[in-house]
């Protein structure tokens, strides 16, 4: 058994639409363990670190603007292969075509909103998970 940790965010659109509880419910229903949960407004400098891999992409500034536009629910969850498992629960990046049964596929988005409003973030590797956890929850660094 490879127990991993991942950093999950319910983005401002998800919190504003009242979907934070539904996302937590799906995480817990799958059997993952909640290690930390915190509702907070993220400052731009934290978000720029979080999304550093996208710093040169054209959607970087709008993404940081959006992510700082309202509170996010930051979550650390643990479990066997939780990094890949949560990405699977979340569905593909664009909710328009994300598979039914997934968070993005089931809960969609506001249709005239950009793709960045896709309800959740989930780390994509062990390295990113530990890097992102150190940004959001420094007290959880091992
Ligand atoms: P994911 O969140 O599925 O890991 P990502 O890491 O490639 O996707 O991108 C981070 C976020 O940036 C994503 O959740 C939504 C936004 N984004 C990605 N590609 C985009 C694009 N082509 N145009 C606008 N926003 C985009
Ligand atoms: Mg990503």
Q: Over the stretch 85-141, which tens digit does the pLDDT of each residue have? A: 999 999 999 999 999 999 999 998 888 899 999 999 999 999 999 999 999 999 999
pLDDT at position 49 is: 98
Angle between helices 20-30 and 82-90 (to 10 degrees): 130
Please say if 121 is a catalytic residue: yes
Residue reference for tokens 């993220």: 42
Q: 104: annotated binding-site residue?
A: yes
CA 121 to ligand 2 center in whole angstroms: 7
Does position 2 have pLDDT exceeding 90, yes or no? no
**Closest ligand 1 atom to the C-alpha of 90?**
3
Which listed residue (5, 26, 109, 121) is catalytic?
121
- For ligand 1, is residue 3 a contact (CB within 6 Å)? no
Question: What local confidence, expressed as pLDDT, does residue 1 receive?
Answer: 74
Summarize pLDDT for 33-45 with one digit per residue, the tens.
Answer: 999 999 999 999 9
Tokens 């249709």 locate to: 111
Which pLDDT belongs to residue 109?
84
Q: 54 CA to middle of ligand 1, Å?
A: 9
First-to-final CA distance of the chain: 19
Q: Answer yes or no: is the ipTM higher than 0.90.
A: yes
Residue 107 confidence (pLDDT): 96
Distances (CA, A) of 131 to 3, 50, 79, 135, 137: 17, 8, 18, 7, 10
pLDDT per residue as tens digits for the range 47-88: 999 999 999 999 999 999 999 999 999 999 999 999 999 999
Q: Where are the beta strands (DSSP E) in the chain?
A: 3-10, 33-40, 72-80, 120-122
């Amino acid at each position: 058994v490879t127990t991993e940790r991942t950093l999950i965010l319910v983005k401002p659109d998800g919190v504003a639409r009242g979907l934070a509880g539904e996302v937590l419910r799906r995480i817990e229903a799958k059997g993952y363990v909640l290690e930390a949960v915190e509702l907070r407004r993220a400052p731009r400098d934290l978000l720029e670190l979080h999304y550093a891999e996208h710093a040169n992409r054209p959607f970087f500034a709008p993404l940081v603007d959006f992510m700082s536009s309202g509170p996010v629910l930051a979550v650390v969850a643990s479990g066997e292969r939780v990094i890949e498992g949560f990405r699977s629960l979340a569905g593909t990046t664009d909710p328009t075509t994300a598979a039914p049964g997934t968070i993005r596929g089931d809960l969609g988005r506001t249709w005239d909103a950009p793709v960045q409003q896709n309800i959740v973030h989930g780390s994509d590797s062990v390295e990113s998970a530990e890097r992102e956890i150190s940004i959001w929850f420094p007290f959880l660094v091992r």
